[in-house]
Chain A
Amino acid sequence: MNDKRLQPVPTAGTPITEADLHGYADGQLPAARHAEVAAFLAAHPQDQTRVDDWQAQRRALRAMLDPVLDEPLPLRLPLKAPARVWPWRALAASVAVAVVSASAAWVARGAMDARHLQTVLAAAGADRAAASYAQRAAIAHAVYAPDMGRPVEVGADNEKGLVTWLTKRMGEPMRAPSLSQAGYALIGGRLLPGGAGPVAQFMYGAADGQRLTLYVTREAAGGQNAFQFTQEGPVRVFYWVEGGLGYALSGAVSRDELQRVSQEVYRQLQGEGQG
């Protein structure tokens, strides 16, 4: 479909088609073809009448609908991105402002350049243990996410059983965040061997087949309570520590996309901790 030749409007010199007549009425023909169609219409008054009618429809529709353009926007329309929870905000503010003078500008206007902040945080020093579980999370993702046949041990159709089982094995309350609002449905989960004891892995899938995995481990206690980023080949990972558990969200998606979902996961897990 990207090939221009596949467009229904033939090139100059070929017979005039109905698609050409529409293209003419809509002003979508190249100049040479437009002239050919004009010559054709001059000799075919019936077709000229059809084209005139279509153009009259265009004008009538626009006359009816254009006034909407000038209406004031209703208050209920969201005119900016919804405010998000920035888990690193408290921690980052002191570090970032000190390190990067330019950051004062965006802190002042209340909008954070998260990518910039990530760099700053990474420079501030990553927690070694956390970095190693993040790496294991990326590897686990690379192993299981492409598996079409059996990506998980327990499927989302038995989410309750999955959560009960993982909670028991992990010795900590487990929960699979609901990411449907973010565009990912729970596929299921499995238990994996980690650096120190078992690890839970939840897998999510988007409509386009893209998969994300959430890796939950107990081995990161005491790690830095901030979002950190790492990459292993095509797999990007955001990881953080919250309530004695280390979390890593992995996926072969853009960093922005992964960050967006990570914030949602964080928000939900934190919400649970408070509630």
Chain B
Amino acid sequence: MRAEDEARILACIPSLRRYARGLTGDPDRADDLVQDTLERAWSRYSRWQRRGELRAWMFGIMHNHFIDGVRAAGRRTDVTVPGDLPDAPVRATQADQLEVRDLDRCLQALPAEQREILLLIAVEDLTYQETAQILSVPIGTVMSRLSRAREKLGALMQGRDAGRRLRPVPTPREMP
């Protein structure tokens, strides 16, 4: 393998890690996924043969590993709906971090195939066409999953807001 090709694979790693983090919501599991993907990419590199964009090819490998993992886990990953979460102590200073945590929980509450599509398009900036190829689905499926993902994520985030309004967590000042 030429040094230039090696460099191109290495250049994909940061965005593979970002995507994996969004998919799994867990740094360790994300890097497991990246590790599997890289091992496969190094060994299968000759098969890529410059058909299409290298980054898309590597996302395709990650997709296969991810889906295998989802199937193997038999969906025992506990998907927690934000409304059911125990109340976390809310303080103004924590609001930003909490916001991120809530977004991550809502993202993880999406069905895996919707989460993949939303991340590939909204975060990784892949085109609809590339996304369809990566996931091996027709482009119409990409569009309908994208639409459902956005609707559901919006609803989950709103539900969280509504929940917070309905069940305000007392701040220390308000406690008796």
* A interface residues with partner B (beta carbon < 8 Å): 1, 6-9, 18-19, 22-23, 26, 28, 53-54, 57-58, 60-66, 68-71, 73-74, 76-82, 111, 181-183, 254, 256-257, 259-260
Contact = CB atoms under 8 A, between A and B. Distances in A.
A57 B154 contact: yes
A115 to B, nearest CB: 11
6 contacts: A8-B140, A22-B146, A57-B122, A78-B35, A79-B38, A81-B1
Contacts of A256: 46, 49
B138 A81 contact: no
B62 interface: no
Contacts of B128: 7-9, 23, 28
**Chain B interface size range:** 35 or more
A80 B49 contact: no
B18 A66 contact: yes
B46 A257 contact: yes
Given A8-B139, A57-B154, A82-B42, A65 B31 contact: no
A1 B132 contact: yes
A71 B17 CA distance: 9
Contacts of A259: 46
Given A8-B128, A57-B150, A58-B122, A183 B44 contact: yes
B46 A260 contact: yes
B109 interface: no
Contacts of A64: 22, 100, 103-104
Contact of B103 (A61, A68, A82, A111): A61
Nearest to B158: A53
Contacts of B139: 1, 6-8
Interface string B1-37: 1010010001001110110011000000001001100
A81 B6 contact: yes
A111 B6 CA distance: 12
The 6 A-B residue pairs with the shortest CB-CB distance, nearest first, are: A256-B46, A68-B18, A81-B42, A58-B122, A69-B14, A68-B21
A61 B122 contact: yes
Given A73-B13, A81-B45, A61 B127 contact: no
A61 B31 contact: no
Contacts, number: 113
Contact of A28 (B13, B119, B127): B127
Contacts of B3: 111
Contacts of B22: 61, 64-65
A60 B154 CA distance: 12
Contacts of B17: 68-69, 71, 73
A95 B118 CA distance: 55
A7 B121 contact: no
A57 B153 contact: yes
A77 B122 contact: no
A19 B143 contact: yes
Nearest to A62: B123
Contacts of B80: none
Contacts of B1: 81, 111
Given A81-B42, A259-B46, 8 more contacts: A9-B128, A22-B150, A26-B121, A68-B14, A69-B15, A70-B14, A78-B35, A257-B47
Contacts of B46: 254, 256-257, 259-260
B18 to A, nearest CB: 4
Nearest to A67: B18
A26 B125 CA distance: 8
A76 to B, nearest CB: 6
Given A1-B132, A64-B100, A254 B123 contact: no
Nearest to B154: A53
Contacts of B132: 1
Contacts of A23: 128
B176 to A, nearest CB: 36
A70 B15 CA distance: 10
A71 B13 CA distance: 11
A77 B104 contact: no
Contacts of B99: 60
Given A60-B103, A64-B104, A77 B18 contact: no
